[in-house]
Structure 1
Amino acid sequence: MMWKFNEDFSFVKQGNQFILLSMILIIVMGLGSDKFYGIFGENNYVTIHLMMEMLITVVTMSISIQTWLITPYILSNRVLYIGALFLTISLLEMAHALSYKGMPFFITESTPYASTWFYMFCRLLLSIGFLIIFFVKEKEIKSSYRWFIYSLPFAIITCCFGVLYGPTPILPPLIMEGEGPTDLKNILQYTAVALQLVIMVLLLKNFKKAPKIIFLLLCSSIYLIMSDFLYTIYQDVYDIKNFIGHIFELGASYLLFRAIYFSSIEKPFQQLVDTQEHLEKSREKMHHMAYHNEITNLPNERFLMESLKKDLYISKSQKAILAIGIERISAIKASLGSTYADQMICLIAQRLKNVLPEKYLLCLLREDYFVVYIDEVNNTHQLTQLSQQLQYVMEESFQIQHFSLNSQLNIGVALFPTDSYREEELVRFALYAMHEAQKSPTRLRFYESSISKKTTEQLLLENDLHDALANQELFLDYQPQLDLHTGQIKSVEALVRWQHPKKGWISPGVFIPIAEESGLIIPIGQWVLETACQQVKEWEAAGLPPIKVAVNLSLGQLFQQNLVEIIHHVLEKTQLEPKYLQLEITESMTINIDHMTTILQKLRALGVTIAVDDFGTGYSSLSYLKDFPIDCLKIDRSFVQKIHSNSTDKALVDMILSMAKHLQLKVVAEGIEEIEQLTYLLDGKCDTVQGFLFSKPVPPHVFQENYQTLHKNAKFILNSISTSEV
């Protein structure tokens, strides 16, 4: 992953200085050792060597002290062994420096013999020690155990002194005066190189586990190998190769120190810093999430209420709360799903922000309505103009994937201090006005005291409606439809009713809009569909002839992605033939022609029939009549009732009948209450009628028991018309 690479390998840039140093030293050697032989003055080489060894000793001793100090907290056996190893190396380096030829008397007269062996012990011990530590399984140790481990370096250095300064030399010399390193020294030096190469291979295999630490260790190994090589080819102490070898050795020690320091101090500290930064960012994120909506990133209700508590009472100037409701958003969420609803809310939020001045506070409350806080209002005309601008920008459709969705805004306004001095009441009153705004032609309402009681009742009713279906408070009545060509009742319309346990019968004109706004129309609509289909089969089992049932579909249902599958499942479950089910849509649902055409074609393919209810009351183009697979038009009762008193309504009914005839569509007229209305429709060749003249909507058992009586009454009415005409 790219971020991992950037994080782990940024330290490579830090190695540029070491690469540059290496190149300079190699160039110096490439120019020729003879030119730089004894360049520092032969009398100064002992001092220079002492300084180099002191620096190496300081570095290695620092590593030892550092690990000693951190082991009580880390308690790792590997860390403890590394500390003991470098304590041993620092003691050997110190002994090497003190026994170097030219140094003052140390145990015996200084000679290359002891000094070179101390160095070789140090070099071999470093490689062997690292290999052993590498293969040791890491485990936790007791703090007191470090005293024992750190005593071993002193035992080792004592043994070395015993071997090198004993009465009889045991080990052969590694340096011959005037000749340089012996073959034994070179063999031991190359052995150290071989061991170092093995270490490098092992490091490379584990590079991904700790890139920075291993990179430093690899660089240290390379410097050690270069120093080993130079120590095998130099002639004497005045050779520039000897000096450069010490520089590489010092560089290797420093890199080792950097690796140990990074692993034991810098890395844990950086992890602690990163953890603190992460916690701080998490706190900021949690705070942001607590005060902002996740979908739109707008301030939420908590943010709004705290802002109002802080700003509302600074001055007594007029302020305003605008509550903005999104028309049909609940139905869209219930039918298409949360993804579509969330995308639409985001698009609406963006349009609102484009209109509102930056000084106005725009919030999203409960993911279905917005609130705007305006801290300075000159007059109500200013709020009316702003509301109209917000509504205007919603006129353009929202294109979400393959759906073209439309929505309107219902805006309620509450004023401070006119309507309330309290922030909670101010927001609540604006919401009350917002609910009332959907009944206004302008979809804008300023709060009035009379709204509170009415809105409270409506909200309580919505709460009760959530339980109405589960508590079997909803039921269906069926209104017979008379076929004027045969005089037979061949179909009925299913109409949902609600018997509230406390408030009694509630009109569909009251609870259906609530169901549509809250999204409850989806489960209610599915229950109506299944109940109506099942009822037709029960009538058939009771001996009634096959009867077609008409069921209204809501806009929310039509936008359900699985509507066709649901209807198919209901037909299979109830064993009702598709031709006995008629689905009714309203004219206002035909706005999204592409989507509606696809859905209706799929429904028509099931074998059901499609009717347009309340035809003539909508505002959409009549072009859908030729595009949609429609079987029937239903003339709205408002036209039928004024068919004799209003010439315009009479002309509309004539037009609908004529249009249906030419388009080969059936016509159902609703609301027939008078003989004169029926007579006119008979003359106009209307196909089917329904209304109180024949029967009001009745419970299913009443329809079943009075089926023959309904036919006799219908026949009597039709005969009376024929007789009067004669």
Structure 2
Amino acid sequence: MRKFGADLSFYKEGLRFLILTLILLTIIGFWSDEFYGVFGENNYVTIHLMIEILIIVVTITIAIQSWLISPYAQSNKRLYLGALFLTIGLLEIVHALSYKGMPFFIMESTTYAPTWFYILARLLLPIGLLAIFSMKEKKIHAYYRWIIFSIPLFFISACVVFIYLPTPFLPPLVEEGNGPTALKNNLQYMAIFFQLVLILFLINNYKLAPSRISLFLGGSVYLIISDILFTTYIDVYDIKNFIGHIFQLSAFYLFFRAIYYASIEKPFQQLLRTQEHLKKSQEEMHFMAYHDDVTNLPNERYLLEELKENLYIDQSEKAVLAIEVDRFSTIKASLGNTYADQMLNIVAQRLQKFLPEKYILSILREDYFIVFIDDQKNTQSLMHLGKQLQEIMTEPIHLQHFSLNVNLNIGISLYPTDANTEEELLMHAKYAMLEAGKIPARILYYELIMSSGMTDKLILENDLHKALDNDELFLEYQPQIDLQTGRITGVEALIRWQHPEKGWISPGTFIPIAEESGLIIPIGQWVLETACYQVKLWEKEGLPPLKVAVNLSLGQLFQQDLVEMVQEVLVKTELEPQCLQLEITESMTINIDQMTTALRNLKELGITIAIDDFGTGYSSLSYLKDFSIDCLKIDRSFVQKIQSNSTDEALVAMIISMAKHLQLNVVAEGIEEVEQLAYLMASNCETVQGYLFSKPIQPKLLQENFHEIQNNAQSILGQLTLIEI
């Protein structure tokens, strides 16, 4: 919008100059005789002096402007332009001082000296501009401006001495009573010729700077018009002489506008656009910090701040509804993240459309929704609301060729009846929600006995202690594909737990338990050692060397002997350090100093460090400043929406471009569709992983299907390359 406004202003100014030009040329064409001597014979010296003063002001202003910005711009062209216009300005000064009719200057004023000063300025201008525009722009130190700007002073001094020799060396250009001589007109035509050459040069380079060159073109045309008028006027009282000076003044004004635009106005506009972009980026980052990236609903951080602000204002009863999609984790594991996110987004839209605006609808990290009701009248209305929410989900959700029937489990917690704090209120609503999934109605109010659900968590923690010894934990590996060659260059190791009684347990369930209990330390060491052994075993079995990516948890990162443990594993497994990549996430930014030290020591071993799920948090960019890293992994939530969300597309492009400039590798996660792959290829992403090529699989299966997966990847990439060609 700002650029459009600037273009419109530029267009309006050009239109005004065009109208002025037409008016002046019309006067010359139809009323030249009528306007002869219109200002009175005694006033022409004053009028000439006024116009010359304005020209001098414009030229000297250009020179001063170039002088002032030279310490910052440090451009040789700008310095030379300043020196050129300083020379023109000084020539105009001595021209005005020596003009016939002016007071005594060195000697009695005649037409000889001022005409030569004018012709010198007129020839110097186009020749100087051609020379400056033709040279290659380069940086020049600011102290050179003293040398460059001293040249005009020596030049003018030489011209004054030469022209004011006791015996005139140059022939006169104007004869008293006869007007301009043939030599004067020929020199004027020569100036026109050089001005035409300059115009051709500017037109040939128009695309480089349209606005600036348009102004120089306009000024050049005005100078040519003034030259023509100065060669055709009868005497100084001819209106052509006056209008010629008006065109000359207008030309210098346009030159000033061109240099001002390039030196000040355009950089200022760019600064304003940068500020607007920064403000917009800050707003987007703030939105990302307080909203979920899948549904755009307020997230847990937003909800907690709202609860802290509104929960304790008065003693009116308030309520929280915790809502989950029944069997959502199973659906997510079966269909993949893309379809699961699409389904979650549809549920969010239906809830948002139904609920009144005064209710706060948000989504928590565990993929369940929270509705906060600030002023609750009675419990019956809450139960009725819950049933209405379930009813709006009776219509199946269609995801391409899938048609899913969705049930909602709803837990209700009341303040101050069930909880005294916002954390308790949310926690108790969650307990009720989990219990609601076990009954047909799927709606429950919180009861004290539900807190015993914590017992289940303790049981799971106890089982996790045994899981490592009983070989219930195992690793699956997801291949990473190099987009240049289509080869599998690495794998990501992902931990799994097959409980003997409860079956498959999501890492999202047991990893937090492991973190809280401290089990993450032995489990993390087992994962690292197993992954390193496996890569070395594959190599012995004939597979090419692969880099294995292993996630570091927060507990591991603060492990005192982490570096020594990693080094021992590398020695024990005989794996080359460059074949190991450790991945950190934003949840680890609590103690930056300790992180910086730990990561630096790990990198000294020769391994690489990656940021996993880059871009999902409010402080992602701080990693690039605070930590020495090698790789960015673009979070799947951005990748999977690049086809439909221009913001995510722009963020992915920005991350890739930023990584290229910082010489970081880029891995895009969650590639499930060919269109996503095509966009990443076009954006010069280096490596990808996702269900499009292979889901995480067990090591033996990966070994047996290694070449098949790789050939399939190369086939897909080859087809996309052919399409692009």
Do both proteins adopt the same fold according to a TM-score greater than 0.5, normalized to the shorter chain? yes
Q: How does 1:171-210 map to 2 (within 5 A)?
A: 171-210=170-209
Question: Does structure 2 conserve the Cα–Cα contact (< 8 Å) formed by 1:326 and 1:407?
Answer: yes
C-alpha distance in structure 2 between counterparts of 1:466 and 1:182, whole Å: 108
Residues 467, 370 of structure 1: alpha-carbon distance in 2 compared, 3 angstrom cutoff: farther
What is the CA deviation profile of residues 17-60 of structure 1, one whole-angstrom value per residue up to 9, with x for unaligned ones? 11111111111112142122111112211111111101111111
TM-score by length of 2: 0.64
What are the within-5 Å matches in structure 2 for residues 686-697 of structure 1? none
Give the whole-Å Cα distance in 1 for the aligned partners of 2:462 and 2:230.
91
Read off the aligned partner of 1:206 and give its amino acid letter: N
Paired letter, 2:348: A
Distance 1:516 1:221, change over 3 A: closer
Number of the residue aligned with 2:52: 53
CA–CA separation in structure 2 for the residues paired with 1:273 and 1:13: 22
* Separation in 1, partners of 2:210, 2:281: 28
**Partner Cα separation in structure 2 for residue 308 and residue 205 of structure 1:** 65
Task: Report the 3-state secondary structure (helix = DSSP H, G, I; strand = E; otherwise coil) of the residue aligned with 2:245.
Answer: helix
Contact 1:331 1:519 survives alignment (8 Å) = no
Instruction: Measure the CA separation in 2 of the matches of 1:360 and 1:572.
Output: 49
Alignment-derived partner of residue 141 in structure 2 = 142
Matches within 5 A, 1:214-229: 214-229=213-228
Query: Using a 3 Å threshold, how does the CA distance of structure 1 residues 335 and 6 change in structure 2: closer, same or farther?
Result: farther
Query: Equivalences for 1:673-692 in 2 at 5 Å?
Result: none
State the structure with more CA Rg: 1
Structure 1 contact 413–446 (Cα < 8 Å) conserved: yes
What residue is the counterpart of 1:405 in the other structure?
404
Q: How far did 1:99 drift?
A: 1.5
- The structural deviation recorded for 1:311 is 1.2
Give 1:321's aligned residue: 320
The answer for the alignment partner of 1:43 in structure 2 is 42
* Distance in 2 of aligned mates of 1:183 and 1:462: 106
**Counterpart-to-counterpart distance in 2, 1:346 and 1:8:** 42
Aligned to 1:231: 230
Q: In the TM superposition, what is the alpha-carbon distance from 1:10 to its structure 2 partner? A: 6.2
Q: Which amino acid aligns with 1:433?
A: A
Query: What is the distance in 2 between the residues matched to 1:280 and 1:307?
Result: 24
The Cα shift of 1:103 comes to: 1.7
**Separation in structure 1 between the aligned mates of residue 202 and residue 75 of structure 2, nearest angstrom:** 20
Return the alpha-carbon distance in structure 1 between the equivalents of residues 283 and 91 of structure 2: 54
Q: For residues 299-314 of structure 1, what are the structure 2 equivalents within 5 Å?
A: 299-314=298-313
Deviations 1:242-284 (A, max 9, x none): 1111111101111111122222222233333332332222222
Q: Which residue of 1 aligns with 2:262?
A: 263
Closer/same/farther in 2, CA of residues 573 and 188 from structure 1, 3 Å limit: closer
The number of residue pairs the alignment matches comes to: 504
1:96 aligns with 2:76: no
Q: Which amino acid aligns with 1:163?
A: F
Taking structure 1 as the reference length, what is the TM-score of the superposition? 0.64
Cα deviation, 1:531-570, whole Å, max 9, x if unaligned, reads: xxxxxxxxxxxxxxxxxxxxxxxxxxxxx99999999xx9
Residue of structure 1 in register with 2:125 after alignment: 126
Unaligned stretches of 5+ residues in structure 2: 475-496, 512-689, 706-725
Q: Shift of the alpha carbon at 1:454?
A: 2.2
Could you tell me how far apart the structure 1 residues matched to 2:102 and 2:10 are?
A: 41
Classify the secondary structure of the residue corresponding to 1:143: coil
Matched residue of 1:208: which SS? Answer: helix
Q: Bigger CA drift: 341-350 or 174-183?
A: 174-183
Matches within 5 A, 1:57-456: 57-366=56-365, 368-454=367-453
Letter in 2 for 1:339: T
RMSD: 3.5
**Matched AA of 1:447:** Y
2:9 maps to 1:15: no
Which of 9-18 and 120-129 deviates more? 9-18
- Identity within the alignment, %: 59
Change (3 A) 1:473 1:294: closer
Q: 1:571 to 1:21 in 2, by over 3 A?
A: closer
Distance 1:210 1:460 in 2: 72
User: Bigger shift: 287-296 or 464-473?
Assistant: 464-473
Q: Deviations over 1:553-597 (max 9, x none)?
A: xxxxxxx99999999xx999999xxxxxxxxxxxxxxxxxxxxxx
For 1:35, what is the secondary structure of its paired residue? coil
Query: In the alignment, is the contact (CA less than 8 A) between 1:298 and 1:362 conserved in 2?
Result: yes
CA separation of 1:467 and 1:65: change in aligned 2, threshold 3 A: farther
Aligned partners of 1:358, 1:231: CA distance in 2, in Å? 75
Distance 1:308 1:103, change over 3 A: same
Q: Secondary structure at the match of 1:139?
A: coil
Q: Distance in 2 between matches of 1:272 and 1:173?
A: 52
Question: Match of 2:51, as an amino acid?
Answer: M
CA distance in 2, matches of 1:277, 1:291: 21
Report the residue type matching 2:36 in the other structure: Y
Return closer, same or farther for 1:9/1:109 CA change in 2, 3 Å cut-off. same
Unaligned residue ranges in structure 1 (runs of 5+):
476-497, 521-559, 576-726
Give deviations 1:377-434, integer Å, cap 9, x for gaps.
Answer: 1111111011111110000112233332221111111111111111112111111111
Q: SS in structure 2 opposite 1:410? A: strand
